[in-house]
Structure 1
Amino acid sequence: MTTTSSGGEPDRTTADREIVISRAIGAPRELVFEAFTEVRHLSRWWGPEGFTTTTRSFEFRAGGVWDFVMHGPDGTDYQEWITWTEIVPPERITLVHGESRDDPDAFESVLTFEPAGEETRIVMRTVFPTKELRDQAVEKYHAVEGGEQTLRNLAAYVAELNRNGTARNETARKGAEG
């Protein structure tokens, strides 16, 4: 059984090991993609509701690493490690995500950024090494709800960036006219 939220077609070869979550975000894909490329952005929206993030190191490039701690609302710290394996601006990011560099339970995620008129549809497809690890992520760690909350946080953050960018552009235009 594939756990799919908000669209996305399952890959039949990995269907029992994957989670697919998608969301339309009201901003150009370049801006949505940018929110993944700089730690100053990621630290403002990454994670489910109530979580905060502390970055230890961050290098956004293929082969680069994001080493960070997610702090849960109950005070629990979660050690996290992401290695970026492919970056195709502004279309796709592929990464391996685990607790550490050598985590045998690490999973792969592919994020695609698809233009949809004035919006961007982001699709996050995560494939776990086993069905059991996927089921554990869904049942114990509430991965579907957490993923939906994370994309909701991204949408709110990007909307704020978009508004602020529009406001700056409008101010600059009025200044040039005046």
Structure 2
Amino acid sequence: KDWDFSSPGVFSGLKIDPDTLVKKLDLDSRSIISSRTGLEEKTVLSKKEKMKLRKERWLQKIESVKMAKQKQKAEAKRKATPVVGDMQPLMEALPELSFLTTGGRGRKPLKSHIKAKAEPADFCLMKQAQKHQLLDQEVARFHEVISDPQYRANPLLAI
């Protein structure tokens, strides 16, 4: 069916109340410039304060960029490490066979080998606490070697 909009009877069957067509808008919604703009008081900042705020925003932006780069770097490092990872903590956590056979007598648990500073190689340059620590390690190593069954069987072959 062809629609003919030029005929006067297109809306002849439609009844619309004229009051529903009239809309009243307040002054703010009609105008581009709001009438309320002058009502609230703007905080007046000095030039120094504005510069401080601008500098703070700039530093925050720089800090966020740095943090994002650090996160990306850490994630890339985690992805690059193999699934096996570092076996040293696992080896330290598991008991040795000699420790199980001797029943754990006379043996101290292993400490982590993380050192804050490099120890001096010369015994004379070491501090007293470092000397005691080195001597304790050597005594523990000596007892471990003596209690080893392979060393007891044939000392020359074990060395």
Instruction: Bin the TM-score by the shorter chain.
Output: under 0.3
The structure that is strand-richer by fraction is 1
TM-score scaled by length of structure 1: 0.23
Structure showing greater radius of gyration is 2
> RCO greater where, 1 or 2, for CA within 8 Å and sep 6 or more?
1
TM-score scaled by length of structure 2: 0.26
